[in-house]
Amino acid sequence: MGLGQALLRTAGLGGALGAAVTSYAVWEARQYTLRTYDVRVLPAGMRPLRVLQLTDIHMTPGQTRKQEWLRSLAALEPDLVIDTGDNLAHRDAVPVVLDSLGGLLDLPGVFVHGSNDYFEPGLRNPFAYLTPDDGKRHTDVPQLPWGDLTAGMAGAGWLDLTNRRSRLTVGETTFAFAGVDDPHLGYDDLAAVAGPAEADADLRIGVAHAPYLRVLDQFADDGYDAIIAGHTHGGQVRLPWPGGSRALTTNCDIEPARARGLHRHPADSRPGDPRSSVLHVSAGIGTNPYTRIRIACRPEAVVLNLLPVA
């Protein structure tokens, strides 16, 4: 075999491998998964609660499989729903999102928004996510009808935690919440929610779309028992790693090791440490509609089973 033939054969094999990987990544992005964690944060003796976290839905009207799967989650009958933003990916998606949430809107819930609730997504170089953040945000594009989304969720009774603190009683459990607007856009107003978490609540939870360290630090310092976030897509593309897989990027300043799943903040803290919180970052349900791929990172909704401390 001549050199030219060898190069052509190598190129052909590389092209076939690339096509196979891409086909798999497109398939995996539609393999919707329910992930469950047990979290011991409730005061001793209290009844366990089931919390459903939804994030990064990135809905377009034509994503019927995603819509059907979302509707099916109402059968879980969670005690509380926490929506951490990026529900939209199309200007006509608000009624589709609200319809897909269906019976979940009849349950207690809280929400914040992410950047993709505010601005229309565009076609961008997917490899740009692997480079250092240059701080540029694409706000020079058409806005999405996020006000209609807010009105729909709040009108159903969910609490809007956009740069707000609020309380909610679910069964016998009183929650104290603090939430911020999207930190990725710099919309978070930490001063508006600063101060010690309410000591008379049974459980204190901080909510944000993007888990930027400045937000996590303040929530932990203020005494919130748990912090709930999304935004990272779990890295979206993960590589094999000892004990599992590892994200290549997080699209914020949290480290890749905490791109998804249950952790603590600060990362080196332990249960019972002062100014230490449980941190959950969900890999989310969708992606930018122009890059609907995932590798070793299936789309997910997450059930957090809140249990009393031992």
Whole-number percent of the chain with pLDDT over 70 = 90
State how far the Cα of 206 lies from the Cα of 84, in Å rounded to an integer.
11
State how far the Cα of 222 lies from the Cα of 219, in Å rounded to an integer.
5
Q: Which two tokens stand for residue 72?
A: 């099916």
Domain assignment present for residue 26? The answer is no
The pLDDT tens digits of the residues spanning 55-107 come to 999 999 999 999 999 999 999 999 999 999 999 999 999 999 999 999 999 99
Q: Is the pLDDT at 293 greater than 90, yes or no?
A: yes
Domain assignment present for residue 74? The answer is yes
Q: Is the pLDDT at 5 greater than 60, yes or no?
A: no
Q: Is the pLDDT at 13 greater than 60, yes or no?
A: no
The pLDDT tens digits of the residues spanning 174-211 come to 999 999 999 999 999 999 999 999 999 999 999 999 99
Domain assignment present for residue 223? The answer is yes
Domain boundaries, position 92? 31-308
Q: Please give the tally of structural domains in the chain.
A: 1
Domain assignment present for residue 1? The answer is no
Band (pLDDT 50/70/90 cuts) for residue 20 is confident
Domain assignment present for residue 180? The answer is yes
| Domain CATH for 177 | 3.60.21
pTM of the model: 0.92
Domain assignment present for residue 6? The answer is no
Rg of the chain over Cα atoms, rounded to whole angstroms, equals 20
Domain assignment present for residue 139? The answer is yes
7 vs 88, more confident = 88
Tokens 């303040």 correspond to: 218
State how far the Cα of 238 lies from the Cα of 44, in Å rounded to an integer.
38
The pLDDT tens digits of the residues spanning 149-183 come to 999 999 999 999 999 999 999 999 999 999 999 99
